[in-house]
Amino acid sequence: MHNKALEIDEKAGHLEGVARNYGNLGLIYFEKGEIDKAEEMHKKALEIDEKLGMQVGIANQYANLGLIYENRGDIDKAEEMYLKALEIDNKVGRLEGQAIQYGNLGVVYKQRGNIRKAREYWERALELYKKIGMPHMVEKAEGWIERLREK
């Protein structure tokens, strides 16, 4: 369906839709384990979002690229992407995006063995999830923090 939508948006010259569909395809390829193809889709989406100045789209693509780099074990590159996404989410005041990036950064620091920093980021994520009323994510963030206490 996303390929069909992509084709329609490309024919119509609807670049915002083209970017969104590339991003969605990237998520699908990531889930299927086709990491290189996922990266290609997210980079195409990022390029278009940058061209259009779509800040939320840019932040989303940086975050998605961060997940790809994290999956490959390139924690430094993942952190770089998450920080870029966080900077944009802060700039535009997107609290959900900020919470997501704090959660992602917590994972990065946990993988590095910096439990104090991981907890700090996860506590920020938890505060934001509470503030915006996302109970399922509040529960998830509380689980991340609780598992740190168990260690």
The answer to whether residue 150 scores a pLDDT higher than 80 is no
Cα angle vertex 100, ends 57, 82, to 5°? 65
The answer to whether residue 63 scores a pLDDT higher than 70 is yes
Q: What is the mean pLDDT of the chain?
A: 96
Mean pLDDT of 90-112: 97
Q: What is the DSSP letter of 15?
A: H
The answer to whether residue 70 scores a pLDDT higher than 80 is yes
- Is 45 within 8 Å of 61 (Cβ atoms)? yes
User: What's the pLDDT score for residue 3?
Assistant: 84
User: What's the pLDDT score for residue 151?
Assistant: 61
User: What's the pLDDT score for residue 56?
Assistant: 96
Record the pTM: 0.92
How confident is the model over 3-41, as pLDDT tens digits? 898 899 899 999 999 999 999 999 999 999 999 999 999
- Is 103 within 8 Å of 73 (Cβ atoms)? no
